[in-house]
Amino acid sequence: MSDTSLVIGSTGLIGKKLIFELAKKNSEVIAVARKSISNLPKNASLLKINFDDFLENGSLPSCDHIYICLGTTIKKAGSQSEFKKVDFDYSLSFARKAREAGATKISLVSSVGANPYAKNFYLKTKGEIEEEIKKIDFQSINIFRPSLLLGRREESRFLEKIGQNLSSFINLFLIGSLRKYRGIKSSNVAYCMANCEQSGGIKYFYFDDFNNNF
């Protein structure tokens, strides 16, 4: 009997690639999104929901593994509070409700440098959601900490695009302990998420892990 995987943030840079990676493994995949998604794999279905309503009284179908790939920017969200609603409130709500629905495994896309005590609001929020998810009794918690994600987004992120264009040059100088700050293809992260070993406990993944073929 195949596992059922929920993908939250399934229209994003990593999430939309992750759906196809999981589908290759003959998993039943449920793509959770606020809008319709075209060209889903045959063994993937769409669960279209209003995220704000979900926070109040939503529930999730029975599942084994939840993948949380939610993420925005303060500019796109409009304020720090709206940013935190997406990256913290939604993520935590989905994690808790997935556990209630039977999930024993969770994979979270976070960020290199995530720290609940960071002065940077973005990194602080990422660190806070990591800590809250670790309090939920999942058997396996995988936390993925990429740096700059490389790939084509549906929406334009000006500063990110500049960073992507410079990434191959900047990566040359990020060596040793700085390797984890190298830009990484979103497809590599998605592949890693779908194929890494689920050994139980809490495990973190960085740049070099995303380049393993497993």
Angle between helices 15-24 and 186-195 (to 10 degrees): 40
**CATH number listed for the domain at residues 4-154+184-205:** 3.40.50.720
Residues 146, 207 contacting (CB under 8 angstroms): yes
Residues 89-103 have pLDDT tens digits of 999 999 999 999 999
Residue 22: pLDDT band by 50, 70, 90 thresholds? very high
Residues 105-139 have pLDDT tens digits of 999 999 999 999 999 999 999 999 999 999 999 99
Residues 68, 141 contacting (CB under 8 angstroms): no
Residues 145-195 have pLDDT tens digits of 998 888 654 555 545 455 455 556 566 655 667 778 678 889 999 999 999
The predicted model gives 74-85 an average pLDDT of 89
Cα separation, 39 vs 170, whole angstroms:
35
Looking at every residue in the chain, the average pLDDT score rounds to: 87
| Domain parsing of the chain, residue ranges | 4-154+184-205
Token match 């590599």: residue? 188
- Among 42-56, 59-73, 171-185, which stretch is predicted with the lowest mean pLDDT? 171-185
The predicted model gives 22-38 an average pLDDT of 90
Query: Which one has a higher pLDDT value, 204 or 3?
Result: 204
Q: 10 Å Cβ neighbour count for 178? A: 12
- DSSP conformational letter for 87: I
143 has a pLDDT exceeding 90 = yes
Q: 10 Å Cβ neighbour count for 78? A: 11
The predicted model gives 28-34 an average pLDDT of 94
Residue 1: pLDDT band by 50, 70, 90 thresholds? very low
Angle between helices 121-134 and 91-100 (to 10 degrees): 10
